[in-house]
Amino acid sequence: MKRIFIVVFLLILQVKGWSAEEPKSSYIIVLGVAQDGGYPHMGCQKNCCKMAWNNPVLRKNVVSLALVDPVNKKWWLFEATPDIKQQLQDFKLQTKEQYPYLPEGVFITHAHIGHYTGLMEFGREVMATNKLKVYVLPKLKAFLEQNGPWSQLVKLNNIDLIELSPDKPVSVINNSITAFTVPHRDEYSETAGFKIVTPTKKYLFIPDVDKWNKWNKNIIDEVKKVDVAMIDATFYTNTELGNRAIAEVPHPLVMETEKLLQTEDLQTKNKVYFIHFNHTNPLLWDVNTQKEVLKNGFNLARQGQIIY
């Protein structure tokens, strides 16, 4: 019980950027931080999940962000996760019902289950939305158009697919969003990262990537170009999966990313917010590991966190 209290207390402490008053310019709310299976993970009865099974307060939604424009009272969702029902409700409550229930649009990185399957909630069985804008890169657009049940969403005009071009910004009122491709396991679509530019801040969002050295850009340079970089932290070490080969699901280990940035100044390190934690990643549940990463100058994205 004492351990659970300490974990919850640390989670509250690390919600940086929280204010009793809403920011005056566009900002980000973190709606989820976990890998595609969420936390706790289906079928997991190991110690890493037992705390969360026993205490709902510790549970975490799949990775997702909201871009919020307080001037125009509009918002945009990043990723349509299996937890989308809860995430839209969380957004409604956290913003005190001052915004439309549905976002102006949804930006999706790729066709892995934690990132797009929440689109089904917009179909006629649930919300039956009318031409909700869904922003995707070309291969993902074709996948959604050509494969059911997603094609039915298009046919019935529940969603309106907006094709993004890599490295070309799209304006959403006072903000701009630029999709770019990153190397990942692209079975059904390419994989995007997003650069979000508001009137006051620049954000980088890369929840999934294979390894930084496979990317045609330098992650250190990209971090330096923005104010906040929310980047892949699926695994902390390469021993987390037990008998399963981690090479089957390559991601930059948190320890690898830290090593890449270890000689950079504190200002650069402080821009990094690790996100997209697998249930085996101790950064979700181990206080000492959390403290170590924070001591090294990095941040951990927290569900419900406001970043501005």
**Residue 165 pLDDT > 90:** yes
Distance CA 180, CA 191 (A): 8
110 and 207 Cβ atoms separated by less than 8 Å = no
**Residue 143 pLDDT > 90:** yes
Identify each DSSP E strand in the chain by its residue range: 27-32, 64-69, 74-78, 105-107, 132-136, 159-163, 170-172, 175-181, 192-197, 202-206, 228-232, 272-275, 299-300, 306-307
Could you give the domains of the chain? 25-307 (3.60.15.10)
Give the residue with greater pLDDT, 2 vs 21.
Answer: 21
Tell me the longest C-alpha to C-alpha distance in the chain: 53
My answer on whether omega of the bond before 183 falls inside 30° of 0, hence cis, is no
Q: pLDDT above 70 covers what percent of the chain?
A: 90
**What are the pLDDT digits (tens) for 188-243?**
999 999 999 999 999 999 999 999 999 999 999 999 999 999 999 999 988 777 66
Q: What is the pTM of this model?
A: 0.92
Q: What is the reported pLDDT for 246?
A: 65
Distance CA 155, CA 20 (A): 43
63 and 94 Cβ atoms separated by less than 8 Å = no
